[in-house]
Chain A
Amino acid sequence: MKSLILKEVNRFTVILIYMFGIYIILHGHLSPGGGFAGGTIISAGLILYHMVYPERSNRVLSDDTVMKAICGALLVYGSIKSYHILHGILVTGHHAKEMAPYSIAGGGTLLILNTCVGIIVAGTFFSVTKLFLKGDQ
């Protein structure tokens, strides 16, 4: 992106895209959305940031950092899900949740699972697109 108008306009719109994506991830258990849709929107924001500021993006979001974030999120999701499966096998009985209805924290561990899926999707799409764009520059 070699145009000055795009760089100045994208200082404001990139933050709005991130806010929209984080809102869709956090309210995944109250309205349609969830991890996959929010992760796609955040990946679109990351690609736009990479096309407008290439030097800053290569320094902050290098290949190492993105790969470590994806691996960490996958491990966290796997450990929480294994705990749920073992808890269902080993413990009989059923515990009801007492939280305020229609709040963000009312879903229990669904919030962490949604966030992990969002990080995995956004990181995968961003790193693949960064490789495809490298041939142009």
Chain B
Amino acid sequence: MFRVASSVILTLILIMVLLTGVTELPQFGLADAPPHNEVMEKYNSESVEDTGSYNVVSAIVLDYRGFDTLIEATVLFCAAIIIIVSLKKPEGESDEELNT
């Protein structure tokens, strides 16, 4: 009972603090918000000449910021290797011997 009550109070305090932060954010959908600066205009208008791709998000992810995608593919590869290493059974054991 103590555990349920303390978890509920802790989560409510956390949500109140986060919602206080949401009240300070700029309005939704206006054109003069801080993220929309000259970087967005450069990517939107010159993406066809520079890369030849009509999809601006593809041009950003693969050409302008393609180094991030290389590191992210490495993260996927590392995750696959880690899972293979941690689920490997040693030679000579089977699944029934480990379950007691």
Contact = CB atoms under 8 A, between A and B. Distances in A.
Interface stretch (A1-9, A10-18, A113-121): A113-121
Given A34-B61, A102-B54, A117 B73 contact: yes
A59 B6 CA distance: 54
B73 A84 contact: no
Interface stretch (B16-24, B34-42, B45-53): B45-53
Main SS of the interface on chain B? helix
A84 B80 contact: no
A31 B80 contact: no
Main SS of the interface on chain A? helix
A54 B53 CA distance: 40
A78 B70 CA distance: 7
B51 A108 contact: yes
A106 B52 contact: yes
Contact of A29 (B52, B77, B95): B52
Interface string A52-76: 0000000000010000001100100
A107 B70 contact: no
A84 B66 contact: yes
A84 B50 CA distance: 13
Interface in B50-64: 50-55, 57-59, 61-63
Contacts of B58: 28-29, 34, 110, 114
Sort chain B's interface into a size bin: 20 to 34
A1 B54 CA distance: 43
B62 A113 contact: yes
26 contacts: A28-B58, A29-B55, A29-B58, A30-B53, A30-B55, A31-B55, A32-B57, A34-B58, A70-B77, A74-B74, A81-B66, A81-B67, A85-B67, A94-B50, A97-B52, A107-B51, A107-B52, A110-B51, A113-B69, A120-B76, A123-B80, A127-B84, A128-B80, A131-B83, A131-B87, A135-B95
Interface of A: 28-32, 34-35, 63, 70-71, 74, 77-78, 81, 84-85, 94, 96-97, 99, 102, 106-108, 110, 113-114, 116-117, 120-121, 123-124, 127-128, 131, 135
